[in-house]
Amino acid sequence: MSAAAERGGSALGLFVLDDRLTGASGGPRLAFMYRCLRDLDEQLGGRLLVVRGDPVDVVPRVVEAVGAGSVHVSADFGPYGRERDAAVGRALAVDLVRTGSPYAVAPGRVVKADGEPYRVFTPFSRAWLDHGWRKPADTDASTVDWMDPADKDGGPRRVKIPDDPATSAELPAAGEKAAHDTWAEFDVEHYKRDRDRPGVDGTSRMSPYLRWGCVHPRTLLADLGHSEGAQTYRNELAWRDFYADVLWHRPDSARENYNRKFDAITHDTDADARDRFDAWCRGETGYPIVDAGMRQLLAEGWMHNRVRMIVASFLVKDLHVPWWWGARHFMRHLVDGDLASNQHGWQWTAGSGTDAAPYFRVFNPTTQGEKFDPDGDYVRRYVPELRDVPGKKAHQPPEVTGYPAPIVDHKHEREIALERYGKIK
């Protein structure tokens, strides 16, 4: 938008509904995206052109139909996005201009002195801070003369922004204003203290807005001071850039183990494993903190970050299921599902990623719940069967009608996980 304003003249706002992306998304993700598009269309005075099809085909047709002199996009650093944009660029008769990125520092810019990418977060974060970032861009839509998106001869047919698919998830408000309102309400001063407590409203809830481009991370960074909470939050934004950088250098790691040694580890993938996986997806494992997290995902299209780590560890190391099963489930349901952060977050827990947690670190779901949800508030909020179980007892509930018994014995499964790791280390 800012690049278009700087060039002067008229601009056409275009969004392509790409079946390669929408087809793999669940109802909550699509609903939130469509709501963000409606908000953007409103900001543009109803002048957002939405079309459906393969971008390689439809973007050149739009360019020819309106006589555009250039095409501006925010650079996409994911594996599919890179290939798609390169193909679009080859198909165009005008320049494809990649302007900025959805990260504070674009992937590939922060490298070691010898030009090699960082594989460990801490030195990356130091170099990231030293590199710095530009000030937030001016994204006032009123500064651009937006073209009428009415159908043009030879161009693809304009489509209505789809209605929200059916979903029972209660999603956050969508769009740029909602992003800024949410940020204004966030108490960053207590972030370091409260961010690991899922029963406390201690996180920013900005991840959906970052994912869908409703706000830029540089906007958040510009507001941060130097308190402990601000420094901790800045560090989380650095993690986001780090994982994007890792995926940029290793696009294969979106679907495969970053550490290929883990290709040899034994997984359970039979019918019984699928049944246990399905119980995990439903939040019916008999481990309250795990079930609360999985039910929060279904109820809100979001899950607290600490709980994401707990449920991931349980799936990979207690149920011995491949990490990519869980990553795929998350990407279907999370409104903030970002490919780089999601896949490498899962690989961090599985031990197969870069700068990953040691595989022998197996989270005990009961003690994790007692430590980070000591009053049981989070569990009781999302597992109504345990609503009458007081305090910390919610993490070791007595037999309760309607609540399942544990589907596995954690102590036994931990031993199996360590045995399997021992065979590949």
Q: Which residues make up each annotated binding site? A: 191, 203-207, 233, 236-243, 336-338
Percentages helix, strand, coil for the chain (3-state, rounded to 5) are: 50, 5, 40
Write out the DSSP string of 323-362: HHHHHHHHHHH-TT--HHHHHHHHHHHHT-STTPPPTT--
Residue 311: what are its φ and ψ, rounded to 5°? Answer: -70, -30
Residues of the binding site for FAD: 191, 203-207, 233, 236-243, 336-338
Q: What is the dihedral of CA 322, 328, 330, 332, to 10 degrees?
A: -160
Alpha-carbon span 74 to 137, nearest angstrom: 13
Strands 13-17 and 145-146: unpaired
| Whether the Cβ atoms of residue 238 and residue 193 lie closer than 8 Å to each other | no
For residues 126 and 380, give the distance between their C-alpha atoms in angstroms, rounded to a whole number.
Answer: 40
Which helix (H) or strand (E) segment is 275 a member of? helix 271-282
Q: Looking at 1-86, which runs of residues are DSSP E strands?
A: 10-11, 13-17, 48-52, 70-73
Instruction: Give Cβ neighbours of residue 8 (< 8 Å, ≥ 6 apart).
Output: none
User: How many residues are recorded in the chain?
Assistant: 425
Contact 225, 322 (CB under 8 A): no
Query: Going by C-beta distance under 8 Å and a sequence separation of 6 or more, which residues neighbour residue 205?
Result: 172, 182, 186, 302
